[in-house]
Amino acid sequence: MSSATTPRPWRRRLLRGSLGVLALLGVLIGIAVVNTLTTRSQQIEVEAFEPLPVDDAEAIGRLSEAIRIPTISPEDPADFDPAPFISFHALLERSFPLVHAQLEREVVSDYSLMYRWQGADPNAAPIILTAHMDVVPVSDPAVWSHPPFAAEQAEGFLWGRGTMDDKGALMAILEAAEAMLAAGITPPRTVYLCFGHDEELQGTGTGAVEMAKLLHARGVEAEFVLDEGTGITVGLFPAVDQPVAVIGLSEKGSATIELVVELEGGHSSAPPDQTAVGILAAAVARVEAEQLPGSLDGPFRQTLATIGPEMHGPLKLVATNLWLFAPIMTRALLAAPTTASSVRTTTAVTVIEGGVKANVLPTRARALVNHRINAGDTVEGVVAHVRDAVDDPRVQVTLVVGNDVPRISDAEAPAFTTIARALREVNPEVLVAPGLFVAAADARHYVGVAEQVYRLSAFFITKQDVPRYHGIDERLALDQYAGMIQFYGRIMQAP
């Protein structure tokens, strides 16, 4: 046989290697397909329940009154106005007379409220439900479709600052408690209701901190805390037709980093090659360009593993076989801002300052960069990453404030099942999964007084609703508020 028809040894080895790779790939794909076909739903089966008797229209009226009181946490804590909070306290007393007659109430840190409701079983571990009464400022009321503190009803919604974040939850909790008291229902466990007044101060608030300290000093060891979190998402998960509620096992950490450039000033007619503003702008551009890498490590992997069986199409194959397709899923999620925040530490340049006049060289330029830290990353690591990205000794890089990711709670704990069951009892169409809350909440302050700390907001949100948090046209669907009340009622009645 001639050499022209006989494969050379290196070609034979290459052919055998290629066939081996293809065979291995075929085996892996086969295993993945079988795994997808045999993966079963992880959703809890629920039965019908007896709803609490609540007059929905009157409940909306009480929530409307709450929205009209501008309990604002200002940008500068020195500008805090206590009068609206005093009015809000009075509103709660008028609106929920049984709660205020039968529950123990304390005012903590001047304006926060803590209630204690003795349960039927004094030996059972208590539960803690939290919400906050303060709201963020409104920069320009004129751009709202409806005035932010008018609580107008239109197009099937109640419009106003605080409907979503977080007076809706606070009032729904109290509505459920009032209805239970009126019906003569005592919760099986002792229930603490902790309503902070300064959650929106982002790190300087004292209400939740002091309430948690009080509970700890009194030896309270709660089974779980439930605070605000991600709403019940509609259309935000690809290849999933049903709404998805992600119960936060933890929340992202945060790090606000300051970039400062200081140079000699002078007249703009004789500028240096780069002004302080130019140096800062280049540094900011590098920080934005050097995003931290994405990763499925942490609670979001549990989200995908739980929702995967409910998906359809190719993504179901990917989500139910993350052992094989994690890199593909990570790249797909990083492609869109609404999902990228789930798998990476985010970088947001939020403040930039510099210069006083067009013909004066700036002596100082400053920027603030806010990071929301993903599970697996740390404040220390984020600061080091920013310094490496800036890579300019003329730019001072300083950590202003930072918090690492709080302790991650257990999705297998009975408390998680209690919340998931209550949610599906009220909304049987909703899929429930564990995950990571991408914002921050008072919940992190309670990790020392509860075995498990969870985060969830029990109203539905679409992609269009996401910017309403802290943004324009915050609103709550009128037909969803009744479900929120029943949800908290089911939580408080759970054994």
Which residue among the candidates 166, 198, 199, 377 is catalytic per the annotation? 199
Contact (Cβ atoms closer than 8 angstroms) between residue 429 and residue 388:
no
For residue 328, give every residue at least 6 positions away whose Cβ sits within 8 Å of its Cβ, in sequence order, or none. Answer: 318
> DSSP 3-state assignment of 91?
helix
Q: Is 199 a catalytic residue?
A: yes
- The CA distance from 236 to 234, in Å, is 6
Residue type, 47: E
Contact (Cβ atoms closer than 8 angstroms) between residue 321 and residue 33:
no
Alpha helices in 243-312 (DSSP H): 276-289, 299-307
Q: How far is CA 363 from CA 274, 275, 277, 284, in A?
A: 12, 8, 9, 18
Q: Is 45 a catalytic residue?
A: no
Cis peptide before 55 (omega within 30 of 0): no
Helix (H) or strand (E) holding 361: strand 360-361
Nearest alpha carbon to residue 151 among 480, 490, 478: 478
| Percent of residues in the chain assigned helix, strand, coil, to nearest 5 | 40, 20, 40
What is the b/e burial string over 188-217, where b = at least 16 CB atoms within 10 angstroms of the residue's CB? ebbbbbbbbbbbbbbeebbbbbbbbbbbee
Nearest alpha carbon to residue 370 among 356, 357, 351: 351
Contact (Cβ atoms closer than 8 angstroms) between residue 435 and residue 230:
yes
- How buried is 20 (Cβ within 10 angstroms: 0-12 exposed, 13-18 middle, 19+ buried)? exposed
* E strand map for 145-263: 153-154, 157-159, 191-196, 222-227, 232-233, 244-251, 253-262
**Six-digit token string for 442:** 């008072």
Strands 364-373 and 346-354: antiparallel
Which residue among the candidates 134, 166, 178, 198 is catalytic per the annotation? 134
Residues labelled as active-site residues: 134, 199
